[in-house]
Structure 1
Amino acid sequence: MAELDRRTLLRGGAAAGGALIGGPFLGFVNRSSASGSHPPSHSLALGPIPDLRDGKVRLWLPEGFQYRSFHDTESPVTLDDGTALPGRHDGMGAFRGRGGRYVLVRNHEVNNPGPAFGDATRAYDPMAQGGTTTVEVTRYGEVTRSYTSCNGTMMNCSGGRMPWGSWVTCEETVNGPDVGPDFTGASNVPLTRPHGFVFEVPADGRSSGEPITAAGRFAHESVAYDPNGGYLYLTEDNFGWPSGFYRYKPRRHPRSAGRLDNRGRLQMLKVRKRSNVDLAAAQPRRATYKVEWVDIDDPAPSFPYTPGQTAPTANDTALTHVARQGWAQGAAYFSRLEGSAYDDGVVYFTATQGGGPAETSLGPIADGYGNGSGQIWAYHTRSATLQLLYESPGPDVLDFPDNVTTSPRGTLVVCEDNVDDNYLRGLTRSGHLFDIALNRLTSGTGADRSNDEFAGSTFSPDGHTLFVNIQASRGMTFAIWGPWRRIGV
């Protein structure tokens, strides 16, 4: 427990942030520079808790919490429709189901060309291995039904839950037969269609299999929907280059249409009256910016190629095609934008490597654009104001925040993605970080898997259960429940 206590003490609120101007985090205060600061009242001791599935300890949690894991692909799992469940469980949304059960729509972030899982005749691209699966579960993580809901896509990273009953899944790639190899070096020639889009997946059925191309072809990470303005706010995780924060406005308001149309306008965030502001660099306390939005005129590019032959367009060129249109108009630079969540007029989103010294070039940068340990931003939709909510002072405090969700009481739940111990963290309204869960996985052979990242955190609609994934080739999903109110979640 010594390491946990040390991290919690260091984490006593070390942040670069300030009082928010509205939304659930009203009253956030900076506590980073106060010498001799005390640990937050939320500091929680985590301890080993056995998995109700088989009694094995996979998580450390606060006292009074329980969990059950399911769809553990360390051993083969077959869905009800006969699909062999892929791994790489990533972003996920929870919906109300039948008889008090919940429905989870879950991404699988599988890259590289290969046969699609599930029914290949219904796949967007029969030579792409990613997609989504839908799982019906009880509030205690007992699976009652499961099936393929979107297939033939690639690198399905995160996404967003839509209030009319859909999950929007995001492809974190621009691979396609018209684009050269990505960071893996694998040829894209076997692919049959371009990738880099978002797809709508109904919670009670299958995706149509056709992307919302007007929402852009870039390295999509997540989506947060503003029901008042009707905008989808989109994050981009372009690893080696600056990333953008976008919004997509369908022509018809989705709440009335009950779906997304493909005839809208894509825009990119720009700091008002300033061009190409580097928001990936360390920010001052209470960093606040008025913003505007610039139009992207070519959101879904295709590139020349001859089928069956190596594409002439380099992957880096394709990755930045959309962003460069925004940069030319002064759009802001972020570092690796990942998870996002909407709550009461505010879109919260993470910048995984933000908060360090400024980069000296636009990329490509081998270890990722951004030299910090992570930032959490808040965009106030009504006032068009961007504010830094939290900036990690170092990896011992918060290391690479990724997926994020909000609890029914407004606490942010942050998934950590680093190469050491990975935590689920809470960020309170008063600006304190605290631990919710610690990964203590081992493989069937006893190998340490504690550096496997958490992903896809999402609360059940009634707030009883937090579902979260382990994003690894041998992925799994957890259902966690307990006295959330007592620990401030």
Structure 2
Amino acid sequence: MAIDRRDFMRRAAVVGAGSLLVGGPFHGFIAHASQGSRARNGNHPLGYGPLESTPDERDGVERLLLPRGFRYRSFHPSGDSLGDGVTIPGFHDGMAAFRGSRGLTALVRNHEVNGPVGAFGDTGDAYDAMAGGGTTTILVDGFGNVADSFVSISGTQMNCSGGPMPWGSWITCEETVNGPDVGPDFTGGDNTKLEEKHGYVFDVPSGGRSAAEPVRAAGRFAHEAAAYCPHDGAVYLTEDNFGFPSGFYRYLPPVNPRSAGRLVDGGRLEMLAVTGWANADLGGVDEPAPGVGAVFDCEWVTIDDPDPTFTGTPSNDQAVVAVGEQGRASGAALFARLEGAVEDRNTIYFCSTQGGNQPSDAPAPPGYGNGRGQIWAYHAPTSTLQLVYESPSQEVLDMPDNVTTSRRNTLVLCEDGVNDTQYLRGLTTDGEIFDFAKNNMEGQTGDEFAGTTFSPDKQTLYVNIQSSNGLTCAIWGPWGSGGL
């Protein structure tokens, strides 16, 4: 029997209001999230108070606004040198923290460099000697003092985000499908100069250099983030397909990666679909977005050709949708630009950067999606999906991107809005947002926060400011006085 879409949405809303099926730390979220409120200047009971101009301990320059009592030191600006002598690339992006030697933290950090500009470091170790992206690894203390640093993978492209894995690796994700078999992307670069296909995920060990082998069965698409779920052993993957619908995927490896010590190729790629609603529009593009609290039963459809090789050099727009169109032909759901993802107690929280209904205080941003951001939660044990937050306005939350969780189970969201005012926001388990940091760098445009991650002891928050002249910051202070 055919199900009317409006009737389906009413049922989903009733389920969401009546019982919260999603587990994890946000069990009390829905009672307040739909109000869409924000504590101005961080003055929520779990916030830290007004933000103040705070000098960088490296050189005294006021790069961040932080609550009183917090301090920071920036390090590794673009153009400086790593410990191995390689020049630090720009566009610092996704990042994760691991336990390093001698009580230090090992940061594995993406560099979202695009185009056939040549690999940094030793090109003999690069996946593609012509591609300029990759990751660098930094041994650093809790106050931003760097002890060592080196290239951990090179010759990749558009390394946007990824995710830390419990076997001690960072999965770095290429947000592109460039290659010699594909026409130029939005930058106009000559893809015939590339030596390899791109659009993959790579396993980068936290303590050394990656073998630079793509996990091809995990798909060739505009990858954004990765999160491992212990319940089913899957790596969940988000897609940021800027001008087109995006999908939510999972990769089921053929070997338990916790036993293998790495993510093994040759598994199965699947894409999320809403049970009973083929091609569910969850981003609010052609249909109104679901209400906060709506819960959907889900199923997974198989991607038969996760690693396409193209003939006839199709346009980049044609190539970038090739994997997603396979899933949507089988009923997979549509989202508006999926970016950051993090796992907590078998629940994957992920950001739809342009999801939601268009707020009245701002025009629709460029790209696919009219809203200012949604936070979704997928609960693996029950295979249910819930919308736990939607930005009601540009002023409250403007296009969330990278995300991590704090020791108090607050989500820390990096904004990637279309204006030059970018914040780190805390989103509490009762659905309240507060400001934690503001980018106060001058003389640059297009900056954004990225790669937020806590040190293993939770005493330092590391975060990148992404731009062509990027850098990384270590932030420390009285965490116990607020919600992080």
TM-score (norm 2): 0.91
2:300 matched residue in structure 1: 293
Once the two structures are superposed, residues 111-144 of structure 1 have per-residue CA deviations (whole angstroms, 9 ceiling, x without a partner) of 0111110100010000000000000001111001
Partner Cα separation in structure 2 for residue 223 and residue 35 of structure 1: 27
Whether 2:400 is the aligned partner of 1:401: answer yes
Task: Report the CA distance shift for 1:205/1:36 in structure 2 as closer, same or farther (over 3 A).
Answer: closer
1:283 matched residue in structure 2: 290
CA drift at 1:88: 0.2
SS in 1 for 2:217: helix
Q: CA RMSD in A?
A: 1.9
Partner Cα separation in structure 2 for residue 32 and residue 166 of structure 1: 34
Once the two structures are superposed, residues 150-174 of structure 1 have per-residue CA deviations (whole angstroms, 9 ceiling, x without a partner) of 0000000000001111000000000
2:256 matched residue in structure 1: 253
Task: Report the CA distance shift for 1:175/1:35 in structure 2 as closer, same or farther (over 3 A).
Answer: closer
1:391 matched residue in structure 2: 390
Counterpart pick for 2:46 among 23, 42, 49:
42
CA drift at 1:33: 6.7
2:375 matched residue in structure 1: 376
Once the two structures are superposed, residues 278-336 of structure 1 have per-residue CA deviations (whole angstroms, 9 ceiling, x without a partner) of 0001222311101000000100011125xxxxxx2111111011001100000000000
1:293 is matched by which residue type in structure 2? W
Once the two structures are superposed, residues 390-438 of structure 1 have per-residue CA deviations (whole angstroms, 9 ceiling, x without a partner) of 1001101100000000112211000000123100000001110001100
1:60 matched residue in structure 2: 65
2:102 matched residue in structure 1: 99
Partner Cα separation in structure 1 for residue 39 and residue 283 of structure 2: 29
Partner Cα separation in structure 2 for residue 206 and residue 252 of structure 1: 22
Counterpart pick for 1:83 among 83, 86, 89:
86
Bigger mean CA deviation after superposition, 278-287 or 430-439: 278-287
Once the two structures are superposed, residues 235-281 of structure 1 have per-residue CA deviations (whole angstroms, 9 ceiling, x without a partner) of 00000100000000101111122111101100000001210000001
Partner Cα separation in structure 2 for residue 119 and residue 389 of structure 1: 45
1:428-467 alignment runs, 5 A limit: 428-442=428-442, 447=443, 449=445, 452-467=447-462
- Asked if the contact 1:377/1:387 (under 8 Å) is kept, the reply is yes
- Asked if the contact 1:137/1:143 (under 8 Å) is kept, the reply is yes
Bigger mean CA deviation after superposition, 207-216 or 281-290: 281-290
Task: Report the CA distance shift for 1:122/1:400 in structure 2 as closer, same or farther (over 3 A).
Answer: same
CA drift at 1:35: 11
2:204 matched residue in structure 1: 201
Bigger mean CA deviation after superposition, 389-398 or 21-30: 21-30
Once the two structures are superposed, residues 15-67 of structure 1 have per-residue CA deviations (whole angstroms, 9 ceiling, x without a partner) of xx867432101111344676999874235211011111111111111111111
SS in 1 for 2:192: coil
Once the two structures are superposed, residues 208-230 of structure 1 have per-residue CA deviations (whole angstroms, 9 ceiling, x without a partner) of 01100000000000000012211
1:3 matched residue in structure 2: none
Partner Cα separation in structure 2 for residue 127 and residue 134 of structure 1: 21
Partner Cα separation in structure 2 for residue 270 and residue 86 of structure 1: 38
Give 5+ residue unaligned stretches, structure 1: 1-16, 306-311, 359-364
1:348 matched residue in structure 2: 349
Percent of residue pairs bearing the same amino acid type? 58
CA drift at 1:389: 1.0
Partner Cα separation in structure 2 for residue 220 and residue 120 of structure 1: 24
Partner Cα separation in structure 1 for residue 36 and residue 272 of structure 2: 36
Whether 2:169 is the aligned partner of 1:166: answer yes
Task: Report the CA distance shift for 1:154/1:38 in structure 2 as closer, same or farther (over 3 A).
Answer: closer
CA drift at 1:366: 9.7
CA drift at 1:448: 5.0
1:2-17 alignment runs, 5 A limit: none
- Asked if the contact 2:274/2:298 (under 8 Å) is kept, the reply is yes
SS in 2 for 1:255: helix
1:337 matched residue in structure 2: 338
Whether 2:70 is the aligned partner of 1:70: answer no
- Asked if the contact 1:227/1:255 (under 8 Å) is kept, the reply is no
Partner Cα separation in structure 1 for residue 34 and residue 86 of structure 2: 53
Partner Cα separation in structure 2 for residue 107 and residue 471 of structure 1: 10
TM-score (norm 1): 0.90
1:26 matched residue in structure 2: 27
2:320 matched residue in structure 1: 319
CA drift at 1:185: 1.7
Give 5+ residue unaligned stretches, structure 2: 1-15
- Asked if the contact 2:358/2:372 (under 8 Å) is kept, the reply is no
Task: Report the CA distance shift for 1:38/1:138 in structure 2 as closer, same or farther (over 3 A).
Answer: closer
1:120 matched residue in structure 2: 123
Partner Cα separation in structure 2 for residue 476 and residue 37 of structure 1: 28
- Asked if the contact 1:20/1:389 (under 8 Å) is kept, the reply is no
1:210 is matched by which residue type in structure 2? E
Partner Cα separation in structure 2 for residue 425 and residue 379 of structure 1: 21
SS in 2 for 1:57: coil
- Asked if the contact 1:424/1:454 (under 8 Å) is kept, the reply is yes
Task: Report the CA distance shift for 1:37/1:143 in structure 2 as closer, same or farther (over 3 A).
Answer: closer
- Asked if the contact 1:357/1:371 (under 8 Å) is kept, the reply is yes
1:108 is matched by which residue type in structure 2? H
- Asked if the contact 1:240/1:366 (under 8 Å) is kept, the reply is no
CA drift at 1:98: 1.1
Task: Report the CA distance shift for 1:33/1:274 in structure 2 as closer, same or farther (over 3 A).
Answer: closer
Partner Cα separation in structure 2 for residue 196 and residue 408 of structure 1: 33
SS in 1 for 2:319: helix
Partner Cα separation in structure 1 for residue 455 and residue 39 of structure 2: 33
Whether 2:474 is the aligned partner of 1:479: answer yes
2:426 matched residue in structure 1: 426
Once the two structures are superposed, residues 50-107 of structure 1 have per-residue CA deviations (whole angstroms, 9 ceiling, x without a partner) of 111111111111111111000112xx21112121110000000100011110000000
- Asked if the contact 1:128/1:191 (under 8 Å) is kept, the reply is yes
2:148 matched residue in structure 1: 145
Partner Cα separation in structure 2 for residue 164 and residue 467 of structure 1: 21
- Asked if the contact 2:38/2:434 (under 8 Å) is kept, the reply is no
1:356-371 alignment runs, 5 A limit: 356=357, 367-371=366-370
Partner Cα separation in structure 1 for residue 341 and residue 330 of structure 2: 24
